[in-house]
Amino acid sequence: MSRIEGWITPELRACLDAVFAKLARPGMCNAEDAESPTASRGFIADSVLDAAARRDRRDAGQRTHDALMALMQPGLNMRALGMHRGLPVEVVLTMSLSDLENGTGVATTNTGTQISINEALKMAEGTHPVIAVLDGDGMPLYLQRSRRTANRAQRLALLARDKGCTRPGCEQPASMCAAHHVTDWAKGGPTDINNLTLACDHCHALINDGPDGWKTVVMGKDSPHRGRTGWIAPKSVDPTATPRVNDRHHAGQAIATAIDSSCRKWRSRAA
């Protein structure tokens, strides 16, 4: 065994994270499992991956090691990596129009890495990532679809808007999330961007109609978080059933809210 340690640039991390999100998932590229899906396979049925994941006894470090080994195999076609959670295995950069015009601020990748705008533009010249630019309200274009599953454009819009799992306190980036219907599809909820949100597998499993289940709602026009997804905890956790949003992926909004709250308190005391 040889130990490896060092620093890598944000660009390299973004590229590696995009690939590892698929190849280092439980069940993928497991050298000890002859039936484990490999890097050369494009489409992988959920049932096949779920079965391989149940057999997988590796920890996260071992899975990353095996994913890196898979990348080193001769003849690997990166385009053959197929899809991961409905999107191609590639880097997606989200940035605001104002930051792009000013050449300042940061872009956020679908795996949660932050890159300066200048680095993002250089990256766009070489690796051709998907770039999503948000308007002044930070909301993507409205999309509608009559099918249950979100399409590629809708997932890109969700990635740009939500940036990661929307349950309060969860730090999972967009690359680890699925598209969840805020109003369940079985209850007539449409597959529209306004009724979709990002939720990681763990948090997604918490949503149900039982007494211990979480609920999701779209925050209304009177909310400072209008259009975003609010999560309602079970009564055993929050008896008030107050919808709350996740600000961990929206650091700028969280800071602005804190400053606004402090200013309100200062003005009330001064009055």
pLDDT tens digit string along 75-108?
555 555 555 555 555 667 777 766 766 777 777 7
pLDDT value of residue 128: 52
Q: In this model, does residue 144 exceed pLDDT 60?
A: no
Domain boundaries, the chain: 10-87, 92-134, 144-251
Contacts of 73 (CB under 8 A, 6+ apart): 39, 40
pTM of the model: 0.48
- Rounded CA-CA distance 216/4 in Å is 43
- The average pLDDT across 48-71 equals 89
Cβ 88 vs Cβ 121: under 8 Å: no
- Give the pLDDT band (50/70/90) at residue 268: low
Q: What share of the chain is helix, strand, coil (3-state, %, to 5)?
A: 35, 20, 45
CATH code of the domain made up of 144-251: 1.10.30
Contacts of 229 (CB under 8 A, 6+ apart): 162, 166, 182, 197, 216, 217, 218, 219, 245
Q: In this model, does residue 244 exceed pLDDT 70?
A: yes
Measured CA to CA in angstroms, residue 266 lies from 183, 254, 256, 262, 269 at distances of 40, 18, 15, 6, 5
| Top-confidence range, 1-5, 36-40, 148-152 | 1-5
Write the pLDDT tens digit of every residue in 194-206. Answer: 888 999 989 998 9
